[in-house]
Amino acid sequence: MKGVELTKMMQELNLKNATPDIDMSDKIITTSEINRPALQLAGYLAHFDNERVQIIGYVEYTYLQQMSEEERHFTYERFISSKIPCVIFSTMTTPTEDMLKLAVQYEVPTFITDRTTSSFMAELIRWLGVKLAPCISIHGVLVDVYGEGVLITGESGIGKSEAALELIKRGHRLVSDDVVELRKVSDVTLVGSAPDITRHFIELRGIGIIDVKTLFGVESVKNTQAVDLVIKLEEWDKDREYDRLGLHEEYIEYLGNKIVCHSLPIRPGRNLAVIVESAAVNHRQKKMGYNAAEELYRRVQESISRKR
């Protein structure tokens, strides 16, 4: 089952570990949803999603504190023994000694954050949503061109890496070469990134592996980027008719999300970097409400109407 390691969550979100004696090496989070256990602390355990991260904020904490010591011990033990992955205390709240003893007894890691409950919940849901998003790996190159995530695909050896290198020299940023990991973070957004082992590297046939970050500086690379446009490089086929106007968008689907896709025929002498730049800017312009193909069509129709 796919999951996020608790230790990684603790490090990424700067959580203070209040139960260092608990071994967290094999503990993972399997859902991006979280829970504030108000009803559970009140005794209602039906429909309790105990696989979620549990967050105790100021309201839940003060509710426990107004109980007698015996009642609080019984209530918290009933909650902490429900096989939950972890508990996080937020908004400057701190677990009492008896709470920590119960956490160690039932091996439930307990963390503390100084952040307010609402802001921390939003950040935690966003972070878990990205880490646990459905993910696929595809063969291609992902580049940030003028803020647009351009995914360049095509057969091996067709020139994807060379085009990416030229784009980098023109001031754009590399996200991933050869293998791109795509994560579906929402129904409209795919985020691409590089595998850890190949991050910031490009393979050039005849030269070998180059480190883009070292050669061109940190401004030439980026760790993640939303995919806005796909450019598919193809060998030129003289018998095929290619789109010359762009009135109708073509799409490609990844993980159920549709992304605009352009098929780009390759011939000697074509400057791929300039074409990719133009495609990215044109796509950005369309998102802002202006379509050059539609404007040309409108002018032609007006010219025909005047002649009539």
Q: Strand pairing of 87-89 and 110-112?
A: parallel
Query: Residue 135 pLDDT > 80, yes or no?
Result: yes
State the pLDDT at residue 108: 95
Q: Which two tokens stand for residue 201?
A: 């590297």
pLDDT at position 269: 65
Topology of the domain covering 4-131 = 3.40.1390
Residue of 2, 83, 126, 139 marked catalytic: 139
| Confidence band for 97, pLDDT divided at 50, 70 and 90 | very high
pLDDT exceeding 90 applies to what percent of the chain? 65
Q: How large is the average pLDDT for residues 196-218?
A: 90
Active site residue 184: no
Q: What is the mean pLDDT of residues 259-286?
A: 86
* Catalytic hit among 178, 213, 284, 286: 178
**Stretch 235-259: mean pLDDT:** 82
The arrangement of secondary structure in 135-297, i.e. its CATH architecture, is 3-Layer(aba) Sandwich (3.40)
131, 160, 222, 283: the catalytic one is 160
239 has catalytic annotation:
no
pLDDT confidence tier of residue 307, bands split at 50, 70 and 90 = confident
Task: Indicate which residue of 47, 238, 244, 267 is catalytic.
Answer: 244
Q: Is 178 a catalytic residue?
A: yes
Contact between residue 262 and residue 282 where contact means Cβ atoms under 8 Å apart: no
What would the mean pLDDT of 210-221 be, rounded to a whole number?
92
Q: Is 139 a catalytic residue?
A: yes
pLDDT recorded at residue 241: 73
Instruction: Answer whether residue 70 shows pLDDT above 90.
Output: yes
Domain ranges in the chain are 4-131, 135-297
Sorting pLDDT into bands at 50, 70 and 90, what band is 287?
confident
Residue list for the binding site: 154-161, 203
List binding-site positions for ATP.
154-161
Helices (H), the chain: 6-12, 38-41, 58-65, 69-80, 97-105, 117-131, 160-169, 212-216, 272-287, 292-307
What pLDDT was estimated at residue 235? 85
The dihedral built from the CA positions of residue 220, 223, 227 and 232, taken in this order, carries a sign that is: positive
Question: Of 133-137, 151-155, 196-200, 238-242, which range is least confident?
Answer: 238-242
Q: What is the mean pLDDT of the chain?
A: 90
pLDDT band for position 1 (50/70/90)? low
- Is the pLDDT at 267 greater than 80? The verdict is no
